Amino acid sequence: MKMNEQEAAREIDWDEDVVVDAAESYQSLVRSLQRTEGFSLFFVRCVPGDQAELVQRLQADLPTLHMQRLELQAELADGNLYQRVATLPDFTQINVLFISGLEKSLDPYVQPGYGGQGDYYRRNTVPRVLGHLNLQRERFRDDFPFCFVFFLSAFGIKYIARRAPDFFDWRSGIFEFIPDAETVGKLTQELYGSYQEYLTWSHPQRLDRIREIQGILEEDQQTPEQQAKFVV
C-alpha cells in the first residue's frame, strides 16, 4: 500500500501512543517491554548521547530480558536491514533489539533547500531502506519474534512515518525523551562550523551533517536565535 501525496502531507496525530514526560515515558517503556511477547515495534525519540544510558537503565531494570544493540555506523547501501538482523550472533535468543543509526540511510534523500518540511518529506524517491521495510514487514514479523526498539530523532520518526507507513503502522508505541534547553543549545553549538571547513568534506559527510542539523532544528527546546545561525 502506497501513500498518496495528500496523505503524505497530512500531519500524523500521535496523541494516543506518545508519552512525553521523561519519567513517565521511561516507566511506560519498561512496562511495555515486560509484557511484550513476540514481534513488536517501538520508536524512541532521544538524542544520540542519551541512547547508551537509556539502554543501561533498561538492562538493569529488566535483567531477565536478553537485549542486544545494533548500531549502524553508515548507510545501508542495499537497504537490507533484515539481513543485518538475521546475521546477528545468537539473534534467536534476543528479547529486545535496540537499533540506532537508521537515519544514516536517509542522508542521501534529505536534501537542503527552501520550503520547510515539504522539501524533506515530499520526495518521489523512497529511501531504499524504507522501501525494504515497507515490503518486508511480514518477514520481520514472522522471522524475528522479539521486540525492536528504534532510536530516532523527531525528524527521523516523522520521516519514517511518512515514507514507510506500512511498517510504521505496526508500531506498538512511541516514547519521547525530549532534551532540555541547555542540552539542545549545546548540541546545536556543536553543529556550527565554517564554510571553508564544509568545503573540505566528502559528499556523505555533508549529507550526514544536513540530517543532523535538520534533527536538532526540530527539537522542542530549539530557539529562533539558534535556528537563525544555520540560515545562509
Candidates 1.20.1050.10, 2.40.40.20, 3.90.79.10, 3.40.50.300; CATH matching 5-180: 3.40.50.300
pLDDT for res 21? 78
- Calpha distance 140→94 (Å, rounded): 14
Stretch 10-25: mean pLDDT, rounded? Answer: 62
* Buried residues in 11-39 as b, exposed as e (16+ CB within 10 A): eeebeeeebeebeebbeebeebbeebeeb
User: Residue 191: pLDDT above 90?
Assistant: no
pLDDT for res 193? 61
* Per-range mean pLDDT, top range of 112-116, 169-173, 207-211: 169-173
> Which cell is 131 given?
522501501
| H runs (alpha helix) in 12-122 | 22-35, 48-61, 81-86, 118-121
Domain boundaries, the chain: 5-180
71, 81, 131 from 88: Cα distances, Å: 12, 11, 22
187: confidence class by pLDDT, cuts 50, 70, 90: low
Stretch 146-153: mean pLDDT, rounded? Answer: 94
Q: pTM of the entire structure?
A: 0.71
Q: What percentage of the chain exceeds 70 in pLDDT?
A: 60
pLDDT in tens, 46-98: 887 789 999 999 999 999 999 999 999 888 989 999 999 999 988 889 999 99
Stretch 135-141: mean pLDDT, rounded? Answer: 94
User: Residue 189: pLDDT above 70?
Assistant: no
E runs forming strands in 46-138: 67-71, 96-100
pLDDT, greater one: 47 or 201: 47
pLDDT for res 121? 47
pLDDT for res 19? 52
